[in-house]
Amino acid sequence: MKTIIGKPHTNEVCAEQIRIADTDSDGCLNYEEFKALLFSDF
């Protein structure tokens, strides 16, 4: 599966993006981390 802008999307890619976005490494995304994750594809 590919995203709207043509990037590959798999469970592994998604998990890696979440790990990268979780800057405080607490295992949960806060609002700022979540926004960064959403807008990282643009």
Question: The whole model's pTM is what?
Answer: 0.63
Q: Quick one: what percent of the chain has pLDDT higher than 70?
A: 83
4 versus 14: which is more confidently predicted? Answer: 14
Quote the pLDDT of residue 41. 64
Ramachandran bin of 23, using left for φ above 0, alpha for ψ from -120 to 50, beta for the remaining angles: alpha
Enclosing H/E stretch for 36: helix 31-39
pLDDT at 30: 95
Lowest mean pLDDT among 2-6, 17-21, 28-32: 2-6
Q: In terms of pLDDT, which residue wins out, 40 or 38?
A: 38
